[in-house]
Structure 1
Amino acid sequence: MILVVGGTGRLGSRLTGELVGHGASVRVMARGESQPFPGKPMDGVELVRGSLASGTDCGRGVAGCSHVVFAASGFGLKRGGNPRTVDRDGALRLIDAASRAGVEHVVMMSMHGAAPDAPLDFLRMKYAAEEALKASGMAWSVIRMGANLEQFLDSMSQPLHTKGRVLVFGSGRAPVTFTSTPDAAAAVLLALSGPSLHGRTIEWGSETHSFNTLAEAVLAHAGKGSIQRIPVAALRVMAAVARPISPFMARMARAALWMESGEASFNPAVQRAAFPEIPVIGLRESLDQIRST
């Protein structure tokens, strides 16, 4: 049995379907709040409603599982959690429960830039979870992703449908390495299929683009619209002022400023060279998928 924590999210849903397609028995654990549980679970999938804030729930989730995938995150939550409570504390709680239950292998989804002194709280919390997993005594794999490509394409497209423009935070010129959801799922499947990624931390990206490139691609795909920018100065104000009112908005502004610095880019070819059998699913393919749906 493979437990997918955060299995109702973008990556978790994709991964669950692919695991079932490969004949695996899958258990999905989620709160069912930020993303609802499906009305009818697919064959081969057991749904467990549980919170990473509860040691009891974590224990129920991992019971009888040989592998665990941690795909939950508090970064995008407007309420009910944040990077500290989900990406660090929740992960540590789950790691402890998995170790006690005799889980063999844990795959941790993390982010490029995770470090003890990273400028974003989110990245510091991810690093703390990575270190706890490495010290757990279980086999482990850490997959550090770039920014989720589909998430940004979706968020940029939404105001296009309602206001006729796409939103770009900052100058939009800095390079950012993106990881598509299919690419992230492929890396997890690789980690689960054998020992090649055991005891390894990999940085797994698809393609590097600027936000201007993404915006222009979205506009070309839609055949209409214009670009609206939120200046860097406004982002700095938002990062400072919004925190007591909307920690979510402050978090988004700080992340945008970090991306503006250029630190969100890396060379995905370095890690991908070892796994040429995994095709790159990048911007063009993701836009084609949006067009087909």
Structure 2
Amino acid sequence: MILVVGGTGRLGRALVPLLVDAGHPVRVMARGSSQPFPDTAGDGVELLRGDLASEADCREAVSGCNAVVFAASGFGIKDSDPRTVDRDGAIRLVRAAAAAGVEHLVMMSMHGAAPDGPIDFLRCKAAAEESVRTSGMEWTIIRIGSLLEQRLETMTAPLESKGKVLVFGSGSAPVTFTSVRDAAALVVRALTDPALRNRVLEWGSLTLTANELAEALLSRAGHGSVQRIPVAAERVLSVAAKPFSPFLARVARAGILEETGAAGFEWEPSRAEFPDIPVTGLQQVLEAAVQGR
């Protein structure tokens, strides 16, 4: 049995079918608040409504599992906090997994994760990484870039209503994005290939600027223009929004970090190690988004 924590999220929804198709029994753990929780599970999938803040829920979730994928995150959810999900929740789940005799844990992390990272989210991810490294279990840490599908969704949110594509900052800094499809494919490989155990993998799909993404979106839509949130406004929001919208404040801080170019990284060396995993391009993601409507 493989436990997928955050199985109703963007990555989890891509990963679970791949695991089922490969013949693995899967248990999905999620709160069911930020994303709809299915009424019923498909063949080979067990649903467990649980909260990472609960030690009892974590123990129940890992019971009987030989592998765990931690794919939950509180960064992009308005009613969540990365400290309670990506740090404390992750550590709580890792400890429960180790106590239950889980053999292997795949931790989804983020490029730039470090104890002294420039934003709190990266420091939370570093703490989660350290917990799994010292857990006694075998582990794989997959550091991804910003999820491409999520960024495109954010940018196009005001397109239909206002005819605008949203760009934070100058939009000229290179950002490495990871497609959900590519991230899910590597997780499956990590769960089945012993050579990927006790390794940290940096995993990207393409490096583009936000301006290049906006140009592609506007070209496909055939109308609209760019609505830009200046860097100065991001700096104000990163402080002023914190009391009433921690979500908006952390998005602004992440935007300021991207402006420095720190969100871009060399993903080609890691991809060269896995030539059989196709690189998902921008046009493929855009076409899939249209088909999914």
Secondary structure of the structure 2 residue equivalent to 1:191: helix
- Percent same amino acid among aligned pairs? 62
Which residue identity does 1:115 align to in structure 2?
A: A
Q: Which moved more, 1:38-47 or 1:142-151?
A: 38-47
Aligned to 1:4: 4
**Partner in structure 2 of residue 194 of structure 1:** 193
TM-superposed deviation, 1:139:
0.3
Deviation at 1:16, TM superposition (A): 0.4
Aligned equivalents of 1:249, 1:287: Cα separation in 2: 26
Instruction: Please show how residues 81-230 of structure 1 align to structure 2 within 5 Å.
Output: 81-230=80-229
Cα distance in 2 between the residues matched to 1:47 and 1:40: 8
Residue 212 of structure 1 aligns to a residue in which SS?
Answer: helix
Letter in 2 for 1:89: D
Structure 1 residue 39, shift from structure 2 partner: 2.7
TM-score, normalization by structure 1? 0.98
Task: Specify the code of the residue in structure 2 equivalent to 1:251.
Answer: R
CA distance in 2, matches of 1:161, 1:21: 36
Counterpart for residue 39 of structure 2: 39
Letter in 2 for 1:166: V
Q: Aligned partners of 1:141 and 1:153: how far apart in 2?
A: 28
- What is aligned with 2:262? 263
Cα offset, 1:221, TM superposition: 1.0
Is there any run of 5+ residues in structure 1 with no aligned partner, and where?
none
Deviation at 1:292, TM superposition (A): 2.2
Q: Paired residue for 1:287?
A: 286
Unpaired segments of 5 or more residues in structure 2? none
- 1:278 — aligned with what? 277
Other structure's SS at 1:202 match: strand
How many residues get paired?
292
> Partner letter of residue 173 of structure 2?
A
Question: Structure 1 CA distance, aligned partners of 2:39 and 2:282?
Answer: 31
Cα distance in 2 for partners of 1:278, 1:94 equals: 29
Aligned-partner Cα distance in 1 for 2:99–2:40: 31
